[in-house]
Amino acid sequence: MNWIYRIAPLVNTVGNSWWKKGRVEPRRYIFDHELLFFFGGACAIRFGETEYICHDMSWIIIPPGILHESVAISEKVYRFWIHFDWIAPEVEDIERSLFVYHPAKVDERFFRRTPDFIPVDDYGVIQGHLKASEADLIRDLTGIADTRWNHSSEFERGTCRAILLEILIRLFPDSGDSSRPLVTKSRELALKVKEILDTLPPQGVNITKLLERCGRTYPHLCRVFREEFGMPPVEYMNMLRISEARHMLESEFMSIEDVALRAGFESPAYFSKKFREAMNMTPRQYAEAAYRRMKESGIRGK
C-alpha cells in the first residue's frame, strides 16, 4: 500500500513569521513533527555537524527528539510551519509541550516517533523542493490553515487536518507503487454494470442480454460483479426491486400481487420467495407490521 494512505495526521499548531538575516532560533527538541515551508529566502537548520539549507520554495519535516537550531541566511525569508503527528494518538497527553530549549530536561517518553513505514534519512528528516506550478497552491493551503487555526472556531480548526493531509499528499505524489491503478479494470467493469442496473426500469428487461452490451459475456460480468459486491447482477436487481416493494408495502394499500408486478418480479410466488430470503418475513407480514406502526404513530394511509 502507498505509505501516504496509511497516515492519519493530527495538527498540533500552525503559524508563520518573517525572519531577517541572522535571526536564530536556539537549539531545541521538538516532541512531535514540524513541517516548514520557506518562501522568498533561505534558512539553515543545523543538526550537530550536519546542516540542511532550505532555499526559497523548499520544505523540510523535522522529527522529534533531535537537537537542532535554525538561522535565516537571506535578507528576508517567510517561514510557515505546522506541528503535527503522523498518526493521531489514541490517548492525548494532557498539556503536552511541543518543544523545549536546550539544556532543559527532556522526557523521551513524550516524543512522537516517526512511524517505521515513512521513508526518512539518517537523521529522520524529510526534505524537498516545490515545483513552481505547486508553490501558489501550497501557499494558498497554508494561508487557509493559518487563518482557520488562529482566527476561527474550534470546528474550523478541525478542518486543518484535512488541509494538512492534502498538503502531505501533494508533497509525496510518488510515494507508492504508481504501476498499480487506483481503480482496477475489473472494478471499473463492475461499477459500470451497477450503474446500468441502477437506472433500469423495474419491468420488462432481460438483464442478461442487456449487460452483454458491455462487450463481455454474462458469466464474466457475473464473476467480476460478484467479486466486487458479493452477489451476481440478477440478485442485485432483485434487491433493488425488493427495496421498491418495501416502499409500496409501507405507504400504499395494494395487493401482494400488484406490488410484485409493479416492482418487476415475474410472479407473486417468486417475489414472496425472494422477499422472505431478504427480510426473514413474508410480504404480507411486512405490510401488516408497517400498518401497525402507522396506527401506533397516528398516521393514516390513503
User: In this predicted model, which residue has the larger pLDDT, 177 or 141?
Assistant: 141
Do residue 125 and residue 191 come from a single domain?
no
Q: Are the beta carbons of 82 and 11 closer than 8 angstroms?
A: yes
DSSP assignments along 186-235, one per residue: HHHHHHHHHHHHHTS-SSS--HHHHHGGGSS-HHHHHHHHHHHHSS-HHH
Res 133: pLDDT: 87
Q: Are the beta carbons of 61 and 34 closer than 8 angstroms?
A: yes
The number of residues in the chain equals 302
Q: Are the beta carbons of 31 and 63 closer than 8 angstroms?
A: no
Residues 144-167: pLDDT tens digits? 999 999 998 999 999 999 999 999
3-state secondary structure of 289: helix
Res 108: pLDDT: 86
Give the global pTM.
0.64
* Average pLDDT for the chain: 88
Kindly state the cell numbers that stand for 96.
503536552
Kindly state the cell numbers that stand for 228.
466486487
Of 121, 143, 171, which residue is a domain's last?
171
Closest of 39, 14, 62, 70 to residue 138, by C-alpha: 39
- Domain of residue 284, CATH code: 1.10.10.60
Whether pLDDT at 301 is above 50: no
Res 302: pLDDT: 40
Domain count for the chain: 2
Bridge partners, residue 128, by sequence: 59
Do residue 15 and residue 163 come from a single domain?
yes
Do residue 228 and residue 200 come from a single domain?
yes
Bridge partners, residue 100, by sequence: 29
Res 298: pLDDT: 63
φ and ψ at 81, to 5 degrees? -135, 150
Of 105, 136, 171, which residue is a domain's last?
171
Cα 162 from Cα 8, distance rounded (Å): 9
| 208 inside domain | yes
| 109 inside domain | yes
| C-alpha dihedral, 116 to 117 to 123 to 128, nearest 10° | -160
Q: Provide mean pLDDT across the span 99-124.
A: 89
Cα 243 from Cα 206, distance rounded (Å): 20
Do residue 164 and residue 28 come from a single domain?
yes
Range of the domain at 32: 3-171
Residues 229-266: pLDDT tens digits? 999 998 998 899 999 899 888 877 788 999 998 888 88
User: In this predicted model, which residue has the larger pLDDT, 269 or 211?
Assistant: 269
Do residue 120 and residue 197 come from a single domain?
no
Do residue 71 and residue 161 come from a single domain?
yes
